[in-house]
Chains A and B, each alone.
Chain A
């Protein structure tokens, strides 16, 4: 069964450093997402991406964040200058399509990357 994959599973970085989190969505999916989950808290939406551009982003997704689909398979989240409060689990997700009349189809989540900022 196809699945979303994420690398690395755990990333440790120093405050102020840049990190790139990588995701490989399911191959025929068209919509891609990043979420984060601070330890013990709820999952928070960061950004959605379609047709090589951001379609929606939350207030969390400020200028320190960027996303890219550098080739036909990878989808990356870059944090330019990490802060302590960026420590969280970051989930990538993908979905095949958006169906407005039904409220949408399901997202498939990757296993997550745990980011620790020291």
Chain B
């Protein structure tokens, strides 16, 4: 089974609108961390937001928030007030108790002016 599943290969959003990028994960480890990274066309990986499995509240970082639903094993990224510069690939990732990160296949987000 895939550790991280991102079911949306491509998404479009109007500038200034909010968008939700889906991510589900699979683990039996009670201790894990969930991450979202942005990869613009230039190729670098930019950390956006982190949610620990024991965190009681959803993580937020500026315009990014993580909708963490532990029972459903989902960790959706919400981007509010989309900007043209948000157009990029977005990867959901998980780290269990060890040192290995598992990445999803990514969602390509296009912000339309």
- Taken together as a complex, chains A and B put the C-alpha atoms of A48 and B44 apart, in Å, by 19
The answer, among B45, B96, B100, for a CB contact under 8 Å with A103, is B96
* Cβ contacts A79-118/B at 8 Å (1 or 0 each): 0000000000101010000101111111111111010000
**Which residues of A42-64 are within 8 A (CB) of B?**
42-45, 48, 50, 55-56, 58
CA gap between A48 and B96 in the complex, in Å: 13
Q: How many A-B residue pairs have CB under 8 A?
A: 79
- Chain B interface residue count, CB cutoff 8 Å, equals 30
In the assembled complex, the Cα of A42 lies from the Cα of B2 at a distance in Å of 12
The answer to whether the Cβ of A75 comes within 8 Å of any Cβ in the partner chain is no
The answer to whether A111 touches B44 (Cβ under 8 A) is yes
> Which B residues touch A106, using CB under 8 A?
35, 47, 50
Chain B residues within 8 Å of A, Cβ to Cβ: 31-35, 37, 43-47, 50, 52-55, 91, 93, 95-106
Extra A-B contacts (16), CB below 8 Å, given A101-B54, A109-B47: A35-B101, A41-B105, A42-B91, A43-B91, A45-B100, A45-B101, A45-B103, A89-B43, A91-B45, A101-B31, A103-B33, A103-B53, A103-B97, A106-B47, A107-B101, A108-B47
* Contact sample, A vs B, 10 pairs, CB 8 Å cutoff: A35-B103, A50-B99, A55-B99, A93-B45, A102-B53, A102-B54, A103-B31, A103-B34, A107-B35, A112-B43
